[in-house]
Amino acid sequence: MTSSISDPVVEKFVAAVNAGDRDAFFADVLTEDATMSDDGSERDLAAWTEKEVFSPEANGRMKVVDASDDGRTLVVDYTNDTWGTMRTRWIFTVAGDRVSRFETGQAPS
């Protein structure tokens, strides 16, 4: 595995999160019907990203530790101001130039 992201769509996702750019995240990164899950449970994408990523209380950031599956599976040290830093796994489904689904959760140790 490597820490460089070889999929440009996933790279845009990480960049939007790290920039705190909610507008780009929804307008340029995700498909209109994108879905997500957290630790195996389906979540409301807008509500989850607001709470865990974009709100001033969250201030989410992703530091990629490893990338595999052509850059569509990441192990990340994810940090937000609510929970601190945790090692997480992110799996992306890409449709064209957008993410149509992502699944996140605790990374196996």
Per-residue pLDDT band for 3 (boundaries 50, 70, 90) equals: low
Sign, CA torsion 36/42/47/51 = negative
Report the alpha-carbon distance of residue 21 to residue 18 in Å, rounded. 8
Architecture of the 8-106 domain: Roll (3.10)
Report the alpha-carbon distance of residue 56 to residue 35 in Å, rounded. 23
Q: Is the Cβ–Cβ distance between 37 and 45 less than 8 Å?
A: no
Helix locations, 1-109, DSSP H: 8-19, 22-24, 45-49
Per-residue pLDDT band for 108 (boundaries 50, 70, 90) equals: confident
Name the token pair of 13: 């996702």
- Average pLDDT score over residue span 78-106: 96
Report the alpha-carbon distance of residue 44 to residue 18 in Å, rounded. 21
The domain segmentation of the chain, as residue ranges, is 8-106
pLDDT tens-digit series, residues 7-65:
999 999 999 999 999 999 999 999 999 999 999 999 999 999 999 999 999 999 999 99
Name the token pair of 62: 């992703």
